[in-house]
Amino acid sequence: HAANPTLPGTPGLPVTVLPAERASPRDLLGKELVILTDVRLETGPRGEPALPSEVTRALGTFVQEGKSLLIIAGPRVVPTSYN
């Protein structure tokens, strides 16, 4: 996995990968870094899935606690929803 490159037979970092729409606030427990890659914050015009609003709120608390959030934009991202 590109976010966790390792050599065969060596332990890697604990990485959890899941679709944004399946995320929940409990997925943040014990994490120090969240990477959102091409994630919508609002449902798209054709019903495209988005990060649940309770996760968006939990990410605010996550960052206020001093943990890290990396946002990588892509074609599904609506920049104004991130303001």
pLDDT at 1: 54
The answer on pLDDT for 40 being more than 90 is yes
Identify whether the C-beta of residue 29 lies closer than 8 Å to the C-beta of residue 62. no
Q: What average pLDDT does this structure show over 43-71?
A: 94
Mean pLDDT, the chain, rounded, equals 89
Region class of 75: left (phi > 0), else alpha (psi between -120 and 50), else beta: alpha
The answer on pLDDT for 15 being more than 90 is no
Give, rounded to a whole angstrom, the gap between the first and last alpha carbons of the chain: 30
